Amino acid sequence: MDNGFKSGLDVIYLTSCALHNIVPDKKSVEAMDLSAVFVQAKRHKMLSVTCMALEPYWDELDPELMKVWRLSVNRAIKSSLMYSVEREKLFRFMDKNEIAYLPLKGIILQNIYPKLGMRQMVDNDILIDINKRDLVRNYMVNNGYKVDGYGKDIHDVYVKSPFFNFEMHVYLAIESVDAVFYNYYLDVWQRLERPDENKYEFRFSIEDFYIYILVHAYKHFNYTGGVGLKPLTDIFVYLRKYGESFNKRYLATELEKIKLTVFEKNIRSLSQKIFDIDAARENRIADILNEEEKQLLKFFIDSGSFGNKNVLYRGMIEKFANGDGKITKSGKAKYIINRLFPTGPYVKENYPFFHRHKALLPVMWVYRFFSKIFVKFKHVCKQIRFISKQ
């Protein structure tokens, strides 16, 4: 068993113990390379939950390592509390100005975990009415936020010290990346619930939120180079709370629409196996997985929170594979032409000026070519080497 996979299993074991409120087996903890586990937990944004699991042994472990590790718990709790204050002010502004908003991802999921701060928050994602994005921008700027991206992506980004990062989405999927998800969410406001008529906060049904979690995981899994252990943890925690209450027929129908039936089955099965309470008590996670499941889990572990570049490149080029999924010379050529001379949704999303003035597309192609060469030269070289090996 390679060290990366071993430390990944240790992260899962400690996380499972924390989720089930089980004290980790002392011999299992002593057998861990805790420095490697720390690095792996940091890669997956799971320092807080693993540290909480180790709490019974804090005074017995390496004091320098545990000092840094324990700080992650304090930061996670502080972050969660401070974000909640900022969100409350933002939401009251949007209620007052009749701006529809939908809290996403960690904002909802953090409250399902057993303890405050157990799920680390890197940013806050909120879907807003696209017609009111200017009002939201003015509010954020007037409240000390720096605009880190506006009007050029599916979300606008606002940052402020010490750690605030708000992503204000106007769409839930990128058309150029996956038109199926993009079209599925075009009418999302019509399918949401509004629990309080005095507020402009909308919510997913429990089934639709689960679908959104899966869509987000699949996008990272297939298009951005992989997805780490946190989505597996999220899925386990969410299913434990709401799984029995799902409208199974509705869920099956919707998953079939967006072709996620198989993905959902595999990721649900894997999450429930690795966080099984009996497996946690006996620390035998690897023993209950078949070979296919181990390879899938290894993919999740190797990806980390930000994915693996080779997986990213593979997902990009596979769009041009032939009918049986093979990457041919003609497929490579199509991919290269598409990268050199992009059109359609990609230009609309990334270069809106040239989308509106299509006669100037050649100018954009030349600009883009040289900007990639000078700004992302290493990234381009890695892509070329990867493609040549396929």
Cis previous bond, 162, omega within 30: yes
Task: Please state the rounded mean pLDDT for residues 80-85.
Answer: 97
Q: What is the pLDDT of residues 271-330, one digit of tens each?
A: 999 999 999 998 988 889 999 999 999 989 988 755 555 555 555 565 665 555 566 777
Question: Are both 68 and 140 inside the same structural domain?
Answer: yes
Task: List, in order, residues 6 or more apart from 23 with CB less than 8 Å away.
Answer: 17, 56
Question: Are the CB atoms for 27 and 58 separated by under 8 Å?
Answer: no
Same-domain status, 297 and 338: no
Tell me how far apart the alpha carbons of residues 257 and 287 are, in angstroms, rounded to a whole number.
35
Domain boundary among 278, 307, 336: 307
Q: Is 360 helix (H, G, I), strand (E, B) or coil?
A: helix
What is the value of pTM for the model shown? 0.83
Domain end: 253, 277, 307, which one?
A: 307
**One domain for residues 223 and 152:** yes
For residues 186 and 323, membership in a common domain is answered with: no
Q: What is the CATH number of the domain that holds 228?
A: 3.30.460.40
Write down the pLDDT at residue 224: 63
For the residues 193-221, what does the mean pLDDT come to? Answer: 94
- Tokens coding 106: 């960690």
Strand blocks (E) in 329-373? none
| 11 and 144 inside one domain | yes
pLDDT-based confidence at 333, cuts 50/70/90? confident
User: Both 258 and 357 in a single domain?
Assistant: no
User: Which range among 253-262, 265-274, 296-305, 360-369 shows the weakest confidence by mean pLDDT?
Assistant: 360-369
The domain tally of the chain equals: 2
Q: Where are the beta strands (DSSP E) in the chain?
A: 101-103, 124-128, 146-149, 155-160, 164-169
User: Are 232 and 368 found together in one domain?
Assistant: no
| Residue at 264: amino acid letter | E
On whether both 190 and 125 belong to a single domain, the answer is: yes
Quote the pLDDT of residue 31.
Answer: 94
Mean pLDDT of 102-108: 96
Give the domain extent around 339.
315-389
One-letter identity of residue 124: N
Q: In sequence order, which residues have a C-beta less than 8 Å from that of residue 56 and are 6 or more positions away?
A: 23, 24
Residue 298 shares a structural domain with residue 188:
yes
Q: Do 252 and 264 contact (CB within 8 A), yes or no?
A: no
- Residues 124 and 158: their CA atoms lie apart, in Å, by 10
Q: Are residues 145 and 209 in the same domain?
A: yes
Q: Kindly state whether residues 242 and 280 are assigned to the same domain.
A: yes
Q: Which of 266, 284, 307 is the last residue before a domain boundary?
A: 307
Same domain assignment for residues 293 and 328: no
Share of the chain above pLDDT 70, in %: 87
